[in-house]
Amino acid sequence: MGDKPIWEQIGSSFVQHYYQLFDADRTQLGAIYIDASCLTWEGQQFQGKAAIVEKLSSLPFQKIQHSITAQDHQPTPDSCILSMVVGQLKADDDQVLGFHQTFLLKSFQGAWVCTNDVFRLALHNV
């Protein structure tokens, strides 16, 4: 990973950490958001760390496993990192579904946090 630009290293590390937390115990995801963070989950808007964690914690499944197919990262002019993730997830005994998720990462008080998060299942003809 050392030959990749720093924004790709940070973005990839963030994505790995995010989905490890999400799959193991999504109540712990509050550590990656700040009070100004925004989440759009399937078109629903949530703002603030508490509202985001409440939404993610209340999702109607007991277990979930994400598999990342692709991820792309870009530096932004204001020193943030834009990350887009494409993958598949399996919740409980449901069928495997595709998803897309985009994160905007910002260095905040010595750590990288997610200020913006947009998630959509890849459902077509539904």
Which structural domains are found in the chain, ordered by start?
6-121 (3.10.450.50)
pLDDT at 125: 61
Separation between Cα atoms, residue 37 and residue 108, nearest integer Å: 12
What's this model's pTM, rounded to 2 decimal places?
0.93
pLDDT at 123: 82
Burial class (CB in 10 A: 0-12, 13-18, 19+), 93: exposed
Mode of pairing for the β-strands spanning 33-41 and 97-108: unpaired
Q: How far is CA 74 from CA 78, 98, 115, in A?
A: 12, 22, 15
pLDDT, tens digit only, all 126 positions of the chain: 458 999 999 999 999 999 999 999 999 999 999 999 999 999 999 999 999 999 999 999 999 999 999 999 999 999 999 999 999 999 999 999 999 999 999 999 999 999 999 999 998 765
